Amino acid sequence: MSDLLELTAQAEATHFWFHGFRGYVGPAIRRIAAGRRDLQIIDCGCGTGYNLRHVLEPYGRAFGFDFNPDAIQRARSARRPLVRADIQRIPFKSNTFDLATSFDVVQSVPDDRAALSEMARVLKPGGSVVLNVTALDLLRGDHSDVWGELRRYTKERAADLVQNAGLEPSRISYLFGSLVPLMLAVRKAQTMRRRYRAPTGDEDLTVPSAPVNSALTALVRAEVALANRVTIPFGSSLLIVARKPG
């Protein structure tokens, strides 16, 4: 796992996927903050801590936790308030946070319903959840196996998940539809290679050559802009925004 975290740390600032991820998530959080800079925020499964620093901290005090001790050690090097904890049993009091986030974590949690119920519990009434999860079973590949992915979501399954936790979804939308043809080709190649060897790393996180990375960054940024006007009908991820009644 430490190797995967190192690979993630190397990719987060420049990889085209992360540019697209922040292009979608950043505006969603800005809308929730509505000009506030004093939010109490919890990032559930904070990984390297990059999102604490670059996505969440501008809007208030951002706490984080992760179950992986290697992740906690890496994130603590950035001097952020962190604990080691399980998202299915969040060690904070109820009604504490204005915003709870979790990015590419819930699909690997044994009990995703317990995870969302816990995120809802620690939110103040009127608080919001922002999630990013993997989507569509046909896009499962080596990345899924290496990271211990247990499920992928459709919009309907995501809606059921948040509603079961007592949350009111305001947005559930597919992301990275523009990358699906490329991902299908990569997944086909990975399936063929599995006949001869099991996956040992996550090639999806390797930053491509500069020209390729720039072209794919431009592609996903164009998709982000287009998504402001039209609904993306499919994609490799889902962005979920929901609110706790109150």
78-108 per-position pLDDT tens digit: 667 799 999 999 999 999 999 999 999 999 9
Q: Is the model's pLDDT at 35 over the cut of 90?
A: yes
φ/ψ of 130, rounded to 5, equals -125, 120
Closest CA to 142 of 201, 196, 195: 201
The answer for residues whose C-beta is within 8 angstroms of residue 165's C-beta and 6 or more apart is: 113, 116, 117, 119, 120
- Residues 6+ positions from 215 with CB-CB distance below 8 Å: none
Q: Rg of the chain's alpha carbons, rounded to an integer?
A: 17
Q: Are 84 and 67 a contacting pair, CB within 8 Å?
A: yes
Both tokens assigned to 121: 């519990």
Contacts of 12 (CB under 8 A, 6+ apart): 18, 48, 50
Give 73's pLDDT tier (boundaries 50, 70, 90): confident
Return the pLDDT at 1: 58
201 pLDDT tier (thresholds 50, 70, 90): low
CA 106-161-155 angle, 5° bins: 90
The CATH fold assigned to 2-243 is Rossmann fold (3.40.50)
Residue 236 and residue 180 in contact, taking contact as beta carbons nearer than 8 Å? yes
Instruction: Identify the weakest region by mean pLDDT among 38-42, 80-84, 104-108, 221-225.
Output: 80-84
Range with the poorest average pLDDT among 8-12, 91-95, 140-144, 174-178? 140-144
Question: pTM score, two decimals?
Answer: 0.93
Helix (H) or strand (E) holding 120: helix 112-122
Average pLDDT of the chain to the nearest whole number: 93
